[in-house]
Structure 1
Amino acid sequence: MKHFRNNPLIDESFRGENHFLVSAIQRTIITGMTMLVCCGWTVFLCLSVQAYENLALHKPAWQSSNLLTNSGAERAVDGQYTNLSFSGGQCAVSGPGLTTDAEQTAEWRVDLGGVRSIHHIVIRHVTGNRVLDENNFYTTWFMGFSVHISNTTNKEDGVLCFRDTNYTSATIPNPVNITCPYHGRYVIYYNNRTHAPYPEGYSNDAWIRLCEVEVYGCPSLGFYGKNCSLECPQNCQDGYCDSVEGTCIDCKSGYIGPRCNQECPVGFYGKNCVKNCSLTCIVPGSCDKVTGQCLGGCQAGWTGDICEKECSLGLYGANCLMNCSLTCGHPGKCDRVTGHCNGGCQHGWTGVKCEEGKRQAGQGSVVNKLTPKIIYIKHAHLSIQFLKK
């Protein structure tokens, strides 16, 4: 109410004349809707506030086997769990049937339809509609279960969210509430009985007995916090951040730090800033933090985005933009850095780049810096015309 009382848009005269409207404004501010009144117009501004949602509700689900026709995997995400009996039609149940032997492993999973930001998972097991304690034989099938978050249907590709190593028949809760601040597409429930002897209170078989699995998280990527109202840092990879703390799961290229707000140090670039900028950049070790592209181009003799390629035959200089002289002893072959001709010059040419023409005149030779204009063959004799510089 303090915000309302100090609102400069609503003066005391307005309050007195519009008591009921003011009361309505007070209520809407509390409930997340703001009403502004100006010049006879009434405007409602709805404040968008998200909250953790059950991301698994009515999503596609799968389990390793079915015991009854009305106990498929989808029963654990149908939103119904008033009947916690394995045959009540509201629970996912696996296990041996008429043609199926006892199972040593049991797996159930739900497809969230895409990578989602998960905060916590609530699991309701079958109880037979009785208290789940040491006197309830259903507890033996739940002991040792684990929960995984993965971007594929293979739990080994993801992260282990929870594994029971401490529950007993007397202490296992129902529901089980697991904090699991990860990103993933598939939530996988798994149990096994593969390494006998088993701990006290464990069944000999692994069965699915799930009445409901609720996966709570932010419905939209890029948000975190209790109400999913805070935006993830802008340099988080793909907008993924911890659903509680807002720390980035991973950083975009060129950034490091828990919130990815630190640029790569000088001389480094790329993912996690582990790549070194090229020493053949025009300024050694100076490059773009993201791509590694050299700033200002390459040193003489090098080319490529990160100056990783030597000049091709016939080219030299910075960024390999200069052509080797055709008057080199081996035409077009020169030092890729300086452009100095390899193998000397052709007859009649001199200079480190064979750029100076040599012409005989009378008793001596007169050297002029000349530029070839035309090279042609006439009557089997090579003639070269020059233009004076």
Structure 2
Amino acid sequence: MMMVYRTLGGILVVMLVFICHTTRSEGDVSAYMPAEQSSNDSSTTVASKAVDECMFTNIQMGCCAVTNTTGQNTAWWRVDLGRLITINWISIFYGDGTGDSIAGYEIYVSNSTDSPRDGVRCHEDRSSTLTDLQTVESPNCPYVAQYVTIYNYRNDPKRQSWYSDYAALALCEVEVKGCPIGSHGYGNCESRCSSDCYGGNCHSTTGYCFYCFPGKYGERCQYTCPTDCANGCNITSGYCTECSAGIYGVTCQNNCPINCKDGICNINSGYCTECISGKFGDDCQQNCSVNCLNGLCYRENGTCHDCVVGKYGINCDNYCRSGCDRETGLYIGISFHNQICIRMFDIIFGICILQSYLPLRVGIGCDVMCLRA
């Protein structure tokens, strides 16, 4: 605002003149860059209007790029950023009263222009009502790309009943915030990314590295991962993703239990993934039963994989003749002195369970005749 003094017929008149400066946020790499669109609604609504730093959203002010508003099932607008840019976010200022037309739009970032949907879709408008659609949309699009495309389409039936019948775009300004590869700094991009950033690239505003070289971590990859990390470490925390054999812990600072097979244990808990022969338990400190075949039992509970001859049961601590079932101790169809012997672990002497096959014998040596029920 400024005050203008004029004299009219000897009367001093003070006039207040409001000067409105329409400015845009710093760091916009799309300003005045080459732009194109699928169609022009008129000769004054061409694609370049959306990158001319004029922020008026009243279409009648002549600051907006507008595609044909009727008869189109698809519409698109694209800007060429001129080189690869580390994009942070994209702001869209659309024309007043055109929310039903732009609703459902998508943003693509790409390094080619073979089709409007080239590259990666970094945003899709999913507003369920017209009031949900923001006056200024600023979706985050953290990609490296040269082209930014805004795309819209209409299906039959429409995705939302309140959508316009035809696809159209009325873009009064599009801002792409970011920096050329290798640089950062809000508003000026004058700072260089750390040389420790993998690929030499970083976040355009903070300067934080996206990736580190193997063995490095930290916002600017300035720290070295712990020595015993087998495959590098987390870029943020520095915690190891894997440890060398025989080591565990977030920084691989602890030794695995000595009875872990091949020295391997869980990186977080230190529990063995497998035990050496004859051991079981989380840390493989407990002994398997001596009746386990080959000394092998399950790490979780000590149950034998199989039993030595003459033993049965989950811990192989029950006696039976050679050839019995490993879990039940049951014999079926074993010939013994021309008789059929059935021996169950819970029936050594008792009433026969299969009377139709008499005579039957029970007992450890099949030497006791079954009694009739």
TM-score range, shorter chain: 0.3 to 0.5
TM-score, normalising length: structure 2: 0.47
